[in-house]
Amino acid sequence: MPGTFSQLNGHEQVVFGHDEASGLRCIIAIHSTVLGPALGGTRMYPYDSEEDALVDVLRLSRGMTYKSAVTGLDLGGGKAVIIGDPATDKTEALLRAYGRMIESLNGRYVTACDVGTYSADMGIIGRETRWATGSEVVEGGSGDSGVMTALGTYVGIKACAERVFDDASMAGRHVAIQGVGKVGRRLAEHLAEEGCKLTVADVNEDATADLADRLGADVVAVEDIHAVDADVFSPNAMGAVINDATIPRLQCRIVAGAANNQLADARHGQVLADAGVLYAPDYVINAGGVIQVGDELHPDGYSADRVRARVERIGERLAAVFVTAEREGLPTAEAADHVAEERMAAVGRLRSFHLPR
């Protein structure tokens, strides 16, 4: 594996963890703690190599820094990956070993759910560390963060519709949803309730069949969902789905979904803009989950009402990004970066004032 610092992309700390007895192999990437402890989920996935895992965790952790900043949270950005198949390799021993690895970082990194991990897993990890959020309510956590991620994505799609169509209503609109797991399924339910036409795709045929039966959704192949003639293409699975191969096939006016790192390359934001497609920067629209689990760290304790109020403001934050993009002549993804960087620079400098603890 290359050992150059150029891979780290400004990260403060990257920790490789291994526990032979449990089979744990993990990487924890702390991108920034300028605004607060680095919060980010733990992804468990059977990566082909440690190099692939490192590339993924570095990209994801950087995105968390910008997500927390643009959302107005006093949190930094981090992410972790556990190399392994969650269906066959996940055990109590592995999760508890991972929890001890997190605890050794003394609160610099706070974890939560991500692909391949669930609220029940956070409860097990939390037996070994104070810094696990999003466990089940019975365990003292806030529960499944996918609920708020889906709500925020729905609110964000309506903000995009307001921008493009001068009408936030989704009644009669057509949305093509890629991925109907923890978030995509709930997003489909929100949209269907408003009278939206749905086309869905997922590798899990049972999941798409369920939505076809309950919501009347059309089902297409995963490889064709981005090419559906719809008002909105909503990626809610893995990243890099907006790329040189898929962009020419898009037939939508809006790309807005909860998947992380939707743009395969930064330049694709400009390509979308040139094609007249409005892109909702992923880390702005999908911030509902981090708002929820981040609230568990609030000095006054968790508040479901406060979380919902903040998630419902995601549309306002997207609208502000769109205004910045238009004013500065930037693609929306770059405009979102500017908004986040301005807050990190303005608020982060206050850390130079020493406060006694």
| Chain segment 283-335, per-residue pLDDT in tens | 999 999 999 999 999 999 999 999 999 999 999 999 999 999 999 999 999 99
Indicate whether 150 belongs to any domain.
yes
DSSP-derived 3-state class of residue 82: strand
- Per-residue pLDDT, averaged over 126-146, amounts to 94
Alpha carbon distance 107, 98 (integer Å): 14
In a domain, 64, yes or no: no
Q: What CATH number has the domain bearing residue 82?
A: 3.40.50.10860
Catalytic (active-site) positions: 79
Site of tokens 């605890």:
103
Separation between Cα atoms, residue 156 and residue 146, nearest integer Å: 15
pLDDT at residue 355, as a whole number: 54
Do 151 and 89 belong to one domain?
Answer: no
Whether 29 shows a pLDDT value over 50: the answer reads yes
Looking at the structure, tell me whether residues 199 and 86 fall in a common domain: no
Verify that 178 and 233 share a domain, yes or no: yes
Do residues 195 and 152 share a domain?
Answer: yes
Considering the chain, what percentage of its residues have pLDDT values greater than 90? 90
d(CA 44, CA 84): 6
What are 246-274's pLDDT values in tens digits? 999 999 999 999 998 899 999 999 999 99
**Residue 295 falls inside a structural domain:** no
Determine if residue 182 is labeled as part of a ligand binding site: yes
Domain match, 222 and 122 both: no
Residue 164 covered by a domain: yes
Of 139, 166, 189, which residue sits at a domain end? 139
pLDDT band at 350 (very low <50, low <70, confident <90, very high): confident
Task: Flag whether 117 is in a domain.
Answer: yes
Q: What is the mean pLDDT of residues 138-143?
A: 92
Q: If you average pLDDT over residues 173-197, what whole number do you get? A: 97
The reply to whether 161 falls in a domain is: yes
User: Is 155 found in the same domain as 129?
Assistant: no
Among 92, 113, 139, give the residue marking a domain's end.
139
Residue where a domain terminates, one of 102, 122, 139: 139
| Confidence band for 8, pLDDT divided at 50, 70 and 90 | low
Number of domains in the chain: 2
Residues 157 and 247 in one domain: yes
CA 283, CA 63: separation in Å to the nearest integer? 6
Which residues are paired to 132 by β-bridges? 111
pLDDT of residue 244: 97
> How far apart are alpha carbons 266 and 98 in whole angstroms?
33
Residues 82 and 46 reside in one and the same domain = yes
Same domain membership, residue 274 and residue 194: yes
Q: Both 121 and 215 in a single domain?
A: no
180 marked ligand binding residue: yes
What local confidence, expressed as pLDDT, does residue 354 receive?
47
Confidence of residue 1 (pLDDT cuts 50, 70, 90): very low
- Tens of pLDDT, residue by residue over 48-88, are 999 999 999 999 999 999 999 999 999 999 999 999 999 99
Residue 30, sorted as left (phi over 0), alpha (psi -120 to 50) or beta, turns out to be beta
Domain CATH number, residue 198: 3.40.50.720
Residue 27 lies in a domain: yes
pLDDT at 335: 97
Q: State which residues form the domain around 269.
A: 146-287+315-342
Domain shared by 114 and 42, yes or no:
yes
Query: Do the domain assignments include residue 332?
Result: yes
Q: Is 156 annotated as a binding residue?
A: no
Q: Are residues 150 and 127 in the same domain?
A: no
